[in-house]
Structure 1
Amino acid sequence: MTIKIYGDPGSGSLRRVTTAAKIMGIEIERVNVDLFKGESQTDEFKSRLNPHGLTPVLEDGDFILYEAAAINLYLANKVDSLLVGTTEKDRFQVLQWMFWSGEQWRIFATTLFDERVGKTVMGLSKNEPVIAFAEGKFRAAAKVLNQHLEGRKFMVGQALTLADFDIAGPFSQIDRSKPPLRDYPNLMAWHDNLLQSVPEWAETKAEVDNRMDSFLESVGVKL
């Protein structure tokens, strides 16, 4: 039975899953969920797939799993993938950065997206103090990453891991939510290397950009 992945092609979180699945050679069935139409907010979606009304969601037979990081770890476990690290210490460092990304990094990128993109689309006023707070937290985390990535091509060890995708998530909306990523040269060089050396990551960038740019054009929004 093919694993189903529910999500919107404009989502950076879905991008992390589809990229990893392709690299691991795992066949998935994409089920489109239009977040802009509120398709994840229905009672059916919340009761069966994710009570938070968020994507991506994995459905493997009668097993349901949400949160992109957990989904990627589940998929990696299925095929004993080296994307979780090649040594015991590397595996724990991969987990460290994945957990860190959720608590110290992507949460503030999401806030910037909600304020700068979501509210613009909905015609609501931005909360400038919230933006300033999120940018401050984001910059503090980016400084840590910039130091960590000095002389590195990957987050952990000498090879691509799931930690790279978790940290790279905010780059998916860099030109829309405008997180201050370009102020950190080591971080930018690391991500440029991902785009050049991991074709699957470049392919999903094109998918996200096409979805987001087409939607914003359709509603007459320029960011």
Structure 2
Amino acid sequence: MAIRIYGDAGSGSLRRVTTAAKIMGIDIERVKIDLFKGESQTDAFKARLNPHGLTPVLEDEDTILWEASAINLYLASKADSPLVGRTAKERFQVLQWMFWSGEQWRTFTTTIFGERVAKPVMGQPEDEAVLKYAEDRIHGAAKVLNQHLEGRNFMVGDALTFADIDIAAPFSQINRAKFPFGDYPHLMAWHNNLLRTIPAWAETKAEVDERMETFLRSVGVTL
């Protein structure tokens, strides 16, 4: 059985996995889970694939794995991929930034996405206090990234790693959620370089954009 990846094309987390799989040359079978229709929230999905009702989820024979970072590390182990880093030192640095991204970066962009995109879709008002808190945390993290990325094309070493993919993921929704990344020139230059030099990252951006814009039009929401 091919490795199956369950997810929604509008998801930045799924994008991390599909990008990595393309780069590593790993064939995956994509199984569409429509998050907007609540398909990940069914009892069957939670019982068999992810009790949290979230995607992406990997299924490889008797292995079920959730969390995009864990999935990517699993795929990399099969391909012996340098995306984990080329040396022992780089591997620990990659893991450092992957963990940092989950705790200091993506959690707050996800909060902003919920306020500025999900709530309008549901006809709910934004919570300004929540937005201010999340944006303050994003500014703090972006300052760290901006300083780190000065004079660099990649987060670790001189080639793409999972550190880049994890930290770049929120750019999938930058225009819709209005993340304040534009204040940080080295951060923006780094991401623009990824779009220019990593074809898989540009390809998956187009997929996310098409999915999100089609959905927003279907529900009559203009952001």
Q: 1:179 offset after TM fit, Å?
A: 0.9
Structure 2 residue identity aligned to 1:154: F
TM, length-normalised to structure 1: 0.99
Whole-angstrom distance in 1 between the partners of 2:113 and 2:84: 28
Cα deviation 1:25-81 (Å, max 9, x = unaligned): 100000000000000000000010001100000000011000000000000011110
Which residues of 2 match residues 19-30 of structure 1 at below 5 A? 19-30=19-30
Amino acid at match of 2:123: G
2:148 aligns with 148
Q: Cα distance, 1:125 vs. partner?
A: 1.2
Q: Which residue of 1 aligns with 2:58?
A: 58
Match in the other structure for 2:185: 185
Q: 2:6 maps to what in 1?
A: 6
Matches within 5 A, 1:189-204: 189-204=189-204
Write the distance in 1 (CA, Å) between the matches of 2:53 and 2:84: 28
Runs of 4+ in structure 1 displaced over 4 angstroms? none
Partner in structure 2 of residue 165 of structure 1: 165
Q: How does 1:35-54 map to 2 (within 5 A)?
A: 35-54=35-54
* Separation of aligned partners in 1, 2:56 and 2:181: 24
1:121 is aligned to 121
Letter in 2 for 1:119: K
Structure 2 match to 1:110: 110
Cα distance in 2 between the residues matched to 1:204 and 1:184? 24
The unaligned stretches of length 5 or more in structure 1 are none
Kindly state the Cα deviation for residue 154 of structure 1 after the two structures are TM-superposed.
Answer: 0.2
- SS of structure 2 residue aligned to 1:40: helix
Distance between the aligned counterparts of 1:114 and 1:64, measured in 2? 27
Name the SS for the 1:159 alignment partner.
coil
Distance 1:201 1:86 in 2: 20
Deviation at 1:110, TM superposition (A): 0.2
> Mapping of 1:125-144 within 5 angstroms?
125-144=125-144
Shift of 1:10: 0.2
Q: Distance in 2 between matches of 1:147 and 1:179?
A: 18
- RMSD across aligned positions (CA): 0.4
Determine which structure has the larger helix proportion and give its number.
Answer: 2
Q: Which residue of 1 aligns with 2:99?
A: 99
Gaps of 5+ in 2: none
Residues 70-120 of structure 1: per-residue CA shift (max 9 Å, x gap): 000000011110000000000000000000000000000000000110000
TM-score (norm 2): 0.99
**3-state DSSP of counterpart to 1:176:** helix
2:69 matched residue in structure 1: 69
Give the match for residue 16 of structure 2.
Answer: 16
Aligned to 2:220: 220
Q: d(CA) in 2 for partners of 1:155 and 1:27?
A: 26
CA distance in 2, matches of 1:222, 1:167: 27
Count the aligned residue pairs. 223
